[in-house]
Structure 1
Amino acid sequence: MTEVPEPAHPRWLTESEQDAWYAWRRMFPLVNAEIARDLQQDSALSEADYDVLSVLGSTDGHRMRITALAALMSWSRSRLSHQLTRMEQRGLVRREEVAADGRGAEVVLTPAGEAAVTAAAPPHVESVRRHLIDVLTPDQLRTFAEVGETLRRHFGATRK
């Protein structure tokens, strides 16, 4: 009979750690939901639409290899493929083969996609200000940015 190891003792959260965890759990969905609701009302774009369009809008030539876009957005290739199909049906993006090597494909921002993200950006940034930026002090924003960068590096370092 194989011996089952005794479970490790959990490292329970301290009161201040628990306060931070609960604050994160309550804050993130509230802020995200408000900004997403505003985006949908103001532009008829989903968060996923806006994410893809804004990344493509900031690249040279408004195009990117699909694999690179998925990696940059921390999305699976399958998730991105389904999202791109929905966006192609609405004329916001198109897929093209990479002419230089014949392997892989790029996603390209269409004129309609560029117009959509250009129109959505001003009310979107105002929503981000209203629901996050303007609510925090400059010191809190610096800390928030540092925390976000620390967590991004942590997950970037652990993902293969």
Structure 2
Amino acid sequence: MTSKPAPAGHAVQPLTADEESLVRSLPLLIYALPRAIDAAMAQEQHMSATEYLALMHLSEAPGRRLRMGDLSSACEMSLSGTSRVVHRLEKEGYIQRVRCDQDGRSYYAALTESGFARLEQAWPSNLAAVRRHFLDHLTEINLKTLAASLRKVAT
């Protein structure tokens, strides 16, 4: 799987059975894992995985706040999707929108103390779901190598 065709006269090597199995399992993982974690979070915390991620990214940001566009990028969501999540979390008192001092048009999403407390409350459920649905299945794999390989593929 490359971005350019094989040079003329060079045959593309067919996938081995293991390669084929890996390539076919990726879409299943990409589809199933977020949904499984989201279902666990909804059942145990009455919070979506996306809401949890927004709170998590804000908790890790300087001053516990991010521009909406930066939060959108961190959560890998559209700006409109991020706005909907922030609006829901704002209604719960977990996030506050703050106008940006520099340009006056942009807004920050700022994590409130209540939002940080909610994140701490939800963290064990998220961790358990990540372990149960993903990490516990990777016992025979070098995770450091796997993480580096996945980052390399992504970039």
The two structures have a TM-score, normalised by structure 1, of 0.76
CA distance in structure 2 between the partners assigned to 1:83 and 1:28 by the alignment? 21
- Paired residue for 1:132? 134
Q: Residue in 1 aligned with 2:150?
A: 148
Q: How do residues 90-105 of structure 1 correspond to structure 2 at under 5 angstroms?
A: 90-105=92-107
**1:38 equivalent in alignment to 2:40:** yes
What aligned pairs does 1:1-160 form with structure 2 within 5 A after superposition?
A: 14-16=15-17, 17-137=19-139, 139-153=141-155
C-alpha change, 1:107 and 1:86, in structure 2 (3 Å) is same
What are the Cα deviations for residues 73-112 of structure 1, in whole angstroms up to 9, with x where unaligned? 3322222112212221222211111234434110011222
| SS of aligned partner of 1:139 | coil
Of residues 59-68 and 129-138 in structure 1, the stretch that sits farther from structure 2 once superposed is 129-138
* Alpha-carbon distance in structure 2 between the residues aligned to 1:15 and 1:73: 35
Q: Would the alpha carbon gap of residues 33 and 71 (structure 1) be closer, same or farther in structure 2, given more than 3 Å must change?
A: closer
Q: 2:50·2:75 contact (CA, 8 Å) conserved in 1?
A: no
State the Cα RMSD in Å: 2.3
**SS of 1:106 mapped into structure 2:** strand
Is the Cα contact below 8 Å between 1:133 and 1:141 reproduced in 2?
no
Q: Is the 8 A contact 2:98 2:110 kept in 1?
A: yes
AA partner of residue 86 (structure 2): L
After TM superposition, the score normalised by the length of structure 2 is 0.78
Q: Find the aligned partners of 2:140 and 2:63 in 1 and give their Cα distance.
A: 35
| Distance (whole Å) between structure 1 residues aligned to residue 14 and residue 118 of structure 2 | 45
Question: Which AA in structure 1 matches 2:58?
Answer: L
Q: How many residues align?
A: 143
